[in-house]
Amino acid sequence: MTVRMHIDLDKVHLIVDGRRHRASLSSAPAPGEEIDMFCGLTDSVSFTTAPEQLVRTCWPCDLHYRRALGLAIPPTHHNSSGRER
Ligand SMILES: [Zn+2]
């Protein structure tokens, strides 16, 4: 018997150096596999179940994600330069 573990790829948090990024994932990546994130950053995957510490948003990734899904982009959204207000 096996246990089937469902991973909602839209809910996967990609954290690099305390910043949450987004990527288009078609399947769960294997540990060590490299992922290209929307902002252009590429890094290899490791998994953890540890709770997240303070994490900031990668605004370029967030902007790309919102546009791809047709979500509203509030006028206060940080622009794609990655600057934080
Ligand atoms: Zn990013």
Tokens standing for residue 50: 């540890």
d(CA 41, CA 26): 18
Bridge partners (DSSP) of residue 35 are: 43
Tell whether the model's pLDDT for residue 52 goes beyond 90. no
Distance 64 CA to ligand 1 centre (A): 9
Q: Who surrounds ion ligand 1 at CB < 5 A? A: 21, 37, 39, 58, 61
Write out pLDDT tens, residues 6-48. 999 988 899 999 999 999 999 999 999 999 999 999 999 999 9
Question: Per-residue confidence at 85, pLDDT binned at 50, 70, 90?
Answer: very low
| CA 4 – ligand 1 centroid, Å | 30
CB atoms within 10 A of CB 15: 15
Please report, for the chain, the start and end positions of each structural domain, with discontinuous segments joined by +. Answer: 9-69
